[in-house]
Amino acid sequence: MNDSLRDAAHALVARAKQAGQSGSTLTDAEALTLQEDAQGALPQWYLELLLKVPLAGLEFEYGEADEDGDRPHALLWNGATGIRSESLECYPGLAILERGYFNCASDPTGGGDPYFVGPEVDGVRPVYQVYHDVGDQADDILADGLKLVAPSLAVLLDGGICDE
């Protein structure tokens, strides 16, 4: 895990705490089981992040606010149960895990379009919201079901807004 990602994660946790939220970390057993069940598809650096920084369960928003003050993305950061569901049990995640996309967050508004960290591009891993109703084939999902949310995971966490 790089320093900017670690620092952005800790800063988000601090903002969440100021807003009255607290997250949790993965247990060693949860991380090991996830890694085994995903057959190595979850990066070790991401599991380390979740083992060390209490992100799981935090709710935040991201993106430029519109004229009403609403932000385009609401995220609920997933722990082991959410990652398992979105990446290993349900579509679209089940179809795109082998292509390097793994779940990081759910949509707490009920829209059903989860968030995924994508494969590395130019040394960073962008974050996407992936539409749940595009289909169950990786090619279709990747062609028509991705919306870029942030150019990197560190940028997303650094820009997360936690309301009181």
Model confidence over 100-157: pLDDT tens digits? Answer: 999 999 999 988 899 999 999 888 999 999 999 998 999 999 999 999 999 999 999 9
pLDDT band at 164 (very low <50, low <70, confident <90, very high): low
What domain range is 41 assigned to?
A: 3-59+71-158
133 in a domain, yes or no? yes
65 in a domain, yes or no? no
Rounded to two decimals, the pTM is: 0.94
Helix axis angle for 44-52 and 28-37, nearest 10°, is 160
128 in a domain, yes or no? yes
pLDDT at 67: 75
pLDDT at 64: 80
List the CATH number of the domain containing 154.
3.40.1580
d(Cα 133, Cα 154) in Å, to the nearest integer? 28
User: Which residues 6+ apart lie within 8 Å of 145 measured at CB?
Assistant: 92, 130, 131, 134, 135
Q: How many domains does the chain have?
A: 1
Model confidence over 58-117: pLDDT tens digits? Answer: 999 898 877 776 778 899 999 999 999 999 999 999 999 999 999 999 999 988 899 999
